[in-house]
Amino acid sequence: MNNMPQLPDAFVQQLLPILREESGAFFASYLNDPLRGIRFRGERIPLPASELTGKIPYAKNAYYLAPDSKAGMLPFHDAGAYYIQEPSAMAAAAVLQPQAGDRVLDLCAAPGGKSTQLAMSASLGLLVANEPIPSRAQILSGNIERMGIRNAVVTAAYPQQLAEKWPRFFDRILVDAPCSGEGMFRRHPETIAEWSADAPEICHHRQVEILDAAAKMLRAGGYMVYSTCTFNWTENEQSVSSFLQTHPNFRLSPFAIHGLPPSTDGTLRLWPHKFPGEGHFVALLHKEDVLPEERDACLLNEPVFAPDKQSAAVFSAFAKEMGADITANMQRGNRLFAMPAAMPPLSGIKTLRTGLHLAELRGKNLFPDHAFALSVAMSKKWAIHPDLAAAYLHGDTLNCPESLRGYYAIDYCGFQLGFGKASNGQMKNHYPKGLRY
């Protein structure tokens, strides 16, 4: 059990009219330990059952994680076997419900929990994960790579900049807006000192601006989710109301998601005293197709330059050797990629990741990219026992059988950690230097 934190009086006073008779139960919830959740990449669960305390019903392959679990420190985490995420934060992507083939934008995406959930909830045509702050965008890009997502573009731009480039391009958009973060008080008590009485109003104006930019990028007939991890009315209902007043072609859309209370008005509050998690607000907005010329998504496409014959042949031979079912469909300089079929124009936009980076060609030599190992199953693998996993993640050269030659996917308990290259009884380590520990 936690000690009761000293909550700002202004925070308490703003919630009393909202909570009413439930205020006692809400504030008493701060005595409970915060909850963690985990989403597995597939059906396989590489953790002991004792570390999982129940299923999260509204997210695919998701569970509540035991408080003492060290899952984030295991090699399975580095292999992208799972993503650790606050449970109620998974509600926003669940409500958006992307469909197969959809072009989806996560506009305020760092660190990547909701982006990776969206990518794994359906076979998307394209996922654009955007984060304006470059340092946070780097973390986002790293998580997209770690979770083996092939069809994502990661950008670092402000919403209005993207809106000017990509009008009516997306089928669904998630706006997990920057907020005053009141839902983080229990999990990260240090954020209490960063909160101020005027923070909700300041955040509100920024949230409405972000929603306005997102509206321009959504095709008519498309859906948009607005979410926050805060509790006050100003950043939640008022931000939605302010947006709707200036966007008459949008409507709140009721929804019913398995494991969540049904929403008859298109909004949902997940309170920590009523729901396992730290709390979230979610609103589902529908853009009506009032203008015939806007009914279809705007067809914008970034030029994709196919690999030259020699590069294509070299990569094809390498993929065949590795037993990897993947084709390079784009070449940029000496780098080869597998790109989504639908790509927005990226000129003038800071872009950190485009599709799946497969390899780099240096003369006649091919150097596979780490993202390739995390995303594509391979049959040419070298299995290492748990004692060697720490050495590999540290960047050490490993001893291996003399018979091994060339590149191998390094296999840890059935999950690929990265690449190694064998020669003369040694496996040269190709785990990226920036990830080693």
Nearest to 41 by CA among 433, 435, 414: 414
Nearest to 108 by CA among 146, 150, 148, 159: 159
3-state secondary structure of 20: helix
Residue 276 near residue 243 (C-beta atoms within 8 A): no
Measure the CA–CA gap between 392 and 403, rounded to whole angstroms: 20
Residue 294 near residue 221 (C-beta atoms within 8 A): no
Nearest to 90 by CA among 236, 258, 253, 252: 258
Tokens read off for 13: 């006073």
C-alpha distances in Å from residue 403, one per residue of 382, 424, 427 = 12, 8, 11
Question: Residue with structure tokens 């420190």?
Answer: 73
Helix (H) or strand (E) holding 330: strand 330-332
Residues taking part in catalysis: 229
Residue 25: phi and psi, rounded to 5, are -65, -40
- List, in order, residues 6 or more apart from 90 with CB less than 8 Å away: 37, 39, 56, 58, 59, 62, 113, 114, 117
3-state secondary structure of 8: coil
C-alpha distances in Å from residue 424, one per residue of 177, 281, 293 = 53, 58, 65
Cross-strand partners of 409: 381, 419
User: Count of CB atoms within 10 A of residue 394's CB?
Assistant: 11
Q: Is the dihedral of CA 190, 195, 200, 204 positive or negative?
A: negative
